[in-house]
Amino acid sequence: MKMIEEKKVSELMTHGTVSVPLDDTVADVVRVLAEGRVHGVVVTSKTGEAVGVISEIDIVKALGRDFNKIKVQEIMTPDVVFVSPQMSVKEAAGIMAQKHISRLFVVDEKKRPRGVFSITDLINEIEQAII
């Protein structure tokens, strides 16, 4: 059996992710977050490339503004670490620990969103390994 830290992100990640285009309004994103019961989504360019993330925190920071007029690109977090499905779980966990984040969005070689690797995915795998 392969040790957890030797596994690839693709083996533990949650496949598929919710994404929104750059030109969506924040009101659109609020609906997506609520309907999908997720805390953040990948923001994509017209070509489908991941260019940032918008989270509940980004939306809270924009309180008081008109969510129907603000575009996602105005409040998204653009400096996001995206990871490859081929990255080792050990390396991805190290990034999360260093940056104090609980999830990493996984993208393919063309930077298209493919899934999410989260602390929950890692904890579930650890639990299975010790049972």
* Cβ atoms within 10 Å, residue 30: 14
Expressed in angstroms, the distance from the first to the final Cα of the chain is: 14
Question: How many domains does the chain contain in total?
Answer: 1
Taking residues 11-21, report their average pLDDT. Answer: 93
DSSP designation for 15: E
Q: In which band, very low, low, confident or very high, does the pLDDT at 1 lie, cut at 50, 70 and 90? A: low
Structural domain that includes position 32: 4-130
DSSP designation for 84: -
* Cβ atoms within 10 Å, residue 98: 9
Taking residues 110-122, report their average pLDDT. Answer: 94
d(CA 61, CA 124): 32
CATH at 71: 3.10.580.10
Structure confidence by residue, pLDDT tens digits, 34-79: 998 888 999 999 999 999 999 999 999 999 999 999 999 999 999 8
Q: In which band, very low, low, confident or very high, does the pLDDT at 5 lie, cut at 50, 70 and 90? A: confident
